[in-house]
Structure 1
Amino acid sequence: MYYQQLLFWAFVLVAVVGGGRYSLDYWLMQKFSASPMPLRTATVKAQVAIALFVLVVGSVAQASEAPAKVAMQELRAITQEWNGSLTYLDYTTKKPVTLVTTLHGMQATPQELLLNFVYREPNGSQVKGADKVLLSVDGTCLTWDGVPLQISSKTYLPNETLQLVLEGRGLDDKKNCSIKRTMLLSAHQFSILKEVKYNSTTVFVMRNKYEFQR
């Protein structure tokens, strides 16, 4: 699933089955084959050194793989009324369209947020919509309208703004794609950028962006 995990389990495999003629043991055995006692001592030392090396590398690999987590308390700033806009890509015209938007965020359950949107169309009419955002128990995943998105990055910017980068697989325009949402949240700012990358492309393109202020 991750390149780092591939390296980690490769180290485990070598530790279990040995390296054969490519191992340090083999080299020491060839070097000290004329003297049994140094050979035995050197082999034991080599095995201990290799075991320690694998443990250290494994610990570092596991530490680097520790997933980013977020708590519901860090997301509670969403649960208020926001005024701003939605800019989305119109697939027909291939041009961005911006709508005046109001958001009322609320906490539906201890692990779920409900985002209620009101969009003002260019002709003056209003359209309503809603997103459900479910936080996993371990805090590593946000399921956004049924699409599980792992938290790939969590950063607190100098102005105390929380930045989350969420990534996963889903559908957009009825096509399979990779989905990336970048969220910025503070007491006075809330934005969500959604980008998609289709299987036939190599770069992410903007699907929509919400920008709210208080």
Structure 2
Amino acid sequence: MRKINSIITLTIIFFITSSSNAQGNSQQLIEDFQKVLGNWKGSLTYLDYSSGKPYTMAADIEVKKIDGTNDFNFINTYPKEKSANSTQTITISQDGKNIGKEEVVSRTELPDGQIQIVTQRQGKDGNDNKEALIKQTYTISKNVFSIRKDVLFAEDKKWVQRHEYVYSRD
């Protein structure tokens, strides 16, 4: 009987600790993304798969948190290509393990004070819509914010930088 009570007690402690850590991870990610609230100016550089060459264009973003949720709206505007303007909502899962459909692989505080969050998911990319592992890297600081997408196609061993948004503010 003592063994059963000990096992039950340890299970409860483990559950409480796991639950607390999950909430902490979620809260930490929310705090990280709250640092980027507001307006940013910058650029988007993407790989044109047709030509194989990078292309850079002006790109701005406004980040808003949706009250009472773990959701953030990323309102993307392209000053010279208004038809490309879009809004994306990212949701930080309650357990802090996902941002949208992407698994959070790591969260690192870099020596220069920046925070780097790396996520990944299986998906499709490229002109041929090929299977790939897709990695997003969010780099956050007080005055610089970037989002980089890298792709590893199923048959390849080398990551391809698909695009990178780099923003700054005063």
Listed as ranges, the matches of 1:107-146 within 5 Å are: 107-109=65-67, 110-121=69-80, 125-126=81-82, 127-143=84-100
% identical equivalent positions:
27
Residue ranges of structure 2 left out of the alignment (5+ in a row): 1-20
Q: Is the 8 A contact 2:32 2:140 kept in 1?
A: no
SS for the counterpart of 1:136 is coil
Match of 2:44 in 1: 86
- The CA distance in 1 between the partners of 2:85 and 2:147, in whole Å, is 18
The yes-or-no answer on 1:179 pairing with 2:134 is yes
- The CA distance in 2 between the partners of 1:182 and 1:142, in whole Å, is 12
| 1:80 alignment partner AA | G
Match of 1:73 in 2: 31
- The CA distance in 2 between the partners of 1:200 and 1:172, in whole Å, is 13
Q: 1 or 2 for the larger relative contact order (CA 8 Å, sep ≥6)?
A: 2
Residue ranges of structure 1 left out of the alignment (5+ in a row): 1-65
Q: Equivalent of 2:148, from 172, 193, 196? A: 193
Output the TM-score relative to the length of structure 1: 0.62
Match of 1:150 in 2: 103
- The CA distance in 1 between the partners of 2:115 and 2:121, in whole Å, is 20
- State the Cα distance separating 1:108 from its structure 2 match: 2.4
- State the Cα distance separating 1:167 from its structure 2 match: 1.3
| 1:88 alignment partner AA | Y
Structure of larger gyration radius: 1
Q: Which has the higher strand share?
A: 2
- The CA distance in 2 between the partners of 1:120 and 1:93, in whole Å, is 24
- Where does structure 1 differ by over 4 angstroms across 4 or more consecutive aligned residues? none
Match of 2:55 in 1: 97
Q: Which has the higher helix share?
A: 1
Aligned length: 143
Output the TM-score relative to the length of structure 2: 0.77
Partner deviation per Cα, 1:120-164 (whole Å, 9 max, x = no partner)? 34xxx4230222211000111111xxxx21111111112321111
- The CA distance in 2 between the partners of 1:163 and 1:77, in whole Å, is 13
